[in-house]
């Protein structure tokens, strides 16, 4: 994706100055209704405040008492508290006394060198903030770049920075990916049409298709897309591109019914329209699933930190793939799209949109 290396270095250096003593800080508190947000929505909101910090020559830090996204972390007495710094690398090498003691009615506040700016009013006025330095750089590449693209590009860059895994998360992800505590499962139909279990390689085989089926509580924000629609779209693609793609897919979802449906789905379209091969090979991870919102699942399944890392594993396995089927009406699908374009060189690989146009146009709120 355009300018990624330059932008990631720029953000890192702004957030990691050689001297923390004379800096201005923007402290970010928990969002209103935070517990109802998925991780994609939390990261998207943080990206807006990271933009404000860059534009005001400030360093973005999380509040320590009630940081954004604290519901994704278990209480374990760690120095990071319940901050996203517990699973991702720290936002900054600096800290401020102002991180502690913020009241719940304050969303954000500057410390150090004061600045007369109402950040929430600024964000309400400039709905999709992108640092001006990056907007100008993108317009030199493509003068007629749209506002929607500027917003989506910046949020992808911000997510790539915010979600850099720390050492412990990287270790747990490796354990889970290699089958320790969490099984990776596969099923394949043989030439006689009989299903059999198959191993899940690391990385996933070349040409694997990612399908993230977002159901759960998302129906309050967009029309939910049936699993069959994902499969039909993928089968059409493999038929149109038989030399580079097979019918094999990694499936992620919170909906256990989708997993059960997958286990009986060898194909949908007839053999005459079968494309590169006749039947599907499916891969998935054996993690707890409940067709509800994230907070209900976090309450139900115990260790919040481990479950969050298992969800992040789904994200990592999705971007191991070469083709992506989903809807950008979902924040998790937008994360998949963003990270494949920043962490990996997969941005030119196809993303097959299955959502209703009114739900994904503009690439998120």
Residue-range domain boundaries for the chain: 4-164, 171-360
Using CB atoms within 10 Å of the CB of residue 232, give its burial: 0 to 12 exposed, 13 to 18 middle, 19+ buried: middle
pLDDT of 272 strictly over 70: no
pLDDT tens readout for residues 185-217: 999 988 888 899 999 999 999 999 999 998 877
pLDDT tens readout for residues 293-307: 889 999 999 789 999
pLDDT tens readout for residues 122-156: 888 887 789 999 999 999 999 999 999 999 999 99
- Predicted local confidence at residue 325, as pLDDT: 97
Distance between CA atoms of residues 262 and 227, nearest Å: 8
Alpha helices by DSSP H, listed for the chain, are 4-15, 39-55, 119-125, 132-141, 147-162, 167-177, 227-240, 256-262, 294-300, 304-318, 331-342, 357-360
* Sign of the Cα pseudo-torsion (119, 121, 127, 133, in order): negative
CA contacts within 13 A on the Cβ side of 122 = 17
Where residue 112 falls among pLDDT bands split at 50, 70, 90?
confident
Task: Give the mean model confidence (pLDDT) for residues 39-58.
Answer: 95
- Predicted local confidence at residue 275, as pLDDT: 76
pLDDT of 260 strictly over 80: yes
What the block records as the tokens of 153 is 């590009």
pLDDT tens readout for residues 1-34: 999 999 999 999 999 999 998 899 999 999 998 8
- Predicted local confidence at residue 248, as pLDDT: 95
171-360, which class in CATH?
alpha beta
Q: Are 88 and 161 in contact (CB under 8 A)?
A: no
For residues 338 and 223, the model is more confident at 338
pLDDT tens readout for residues 64-83: 999 999 999 998 767 788 99
- Can you give 298-336 as a three-state secondary structure string? HHHCCCHHHHHHHHHHHHHHHCCCCEEEECCCCHHHHHH
């Amino acid at each position: 994706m355009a300018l990624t290396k330059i932008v990631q270095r720029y953000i890192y250096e702004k957030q990691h100055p050689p001297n923390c003593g004379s800096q201005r800080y923007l402290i970010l508190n928990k969002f209103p209704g935070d517990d109802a947000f998925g991780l994609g929505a939390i990261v998207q909101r943080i990206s807006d405040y990271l933009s404000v910090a860059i534009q005001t020559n400030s360093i973005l830090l999380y509040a320590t008492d009630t940081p954004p996204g604290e519901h994704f972390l278990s209480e374990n007495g760690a120095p990071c508290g319940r901050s996203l710094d517990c699973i991702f690398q720290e936002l900054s090498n600096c800290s401020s006394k102002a991180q502690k003691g913020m009241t719940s009615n304050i969303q954000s506040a500057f410390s150090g060198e004061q600045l007369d700016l109402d950040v929430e009013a600024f964000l309400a006025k400039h709905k999709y903030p992108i640092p001006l330095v990056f907007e100008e750089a993108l317009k030199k590449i493509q003068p007629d770049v749209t506002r929607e693209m500027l917003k989506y590009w910046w949020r992808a860059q911000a997510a790539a920075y915010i979600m850099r895994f720390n050492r412990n998360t990287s270790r747990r992800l490796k354990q889970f990916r290699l089958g320790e505590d969490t099984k990776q499962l596969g099923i394949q139909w043989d030439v006689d049409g009989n299903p059999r279990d198959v191993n899940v390689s690391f990385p996933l085989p070349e040409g694997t298709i990612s399908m993230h089926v977002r159901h759960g509580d998302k129906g309050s924000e967009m029309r939910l897309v049936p699993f069959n629609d994902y499969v039909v779209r993928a089968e059409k693609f493999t038929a149109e591109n038989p030399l580079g793609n097979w019918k094999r897919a990694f499936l992620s979802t919170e909906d256990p019914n989708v997993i059960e449906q997958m286990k009986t789905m060898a194909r949908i379209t007839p053999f005459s329209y079968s494309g590169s091969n006749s039947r599907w090979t499916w891969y998935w991870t054996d993690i707890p699933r409940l067709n509800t919102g994230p907070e209900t699942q976090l309450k139900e399944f115990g260790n919040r930190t481990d479950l969050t890392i298992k969800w992040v594993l789904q994200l990592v396995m999705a971007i191991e793939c070469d083709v992506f089927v989903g809807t950008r009406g979902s924040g998790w699908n937008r994360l998949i799209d963003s990270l494949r374009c920043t962490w990996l060189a997969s941005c030119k690989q196809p993303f097959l949109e299955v959502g209703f146009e009114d739900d994904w146009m503009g690439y998120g709120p």
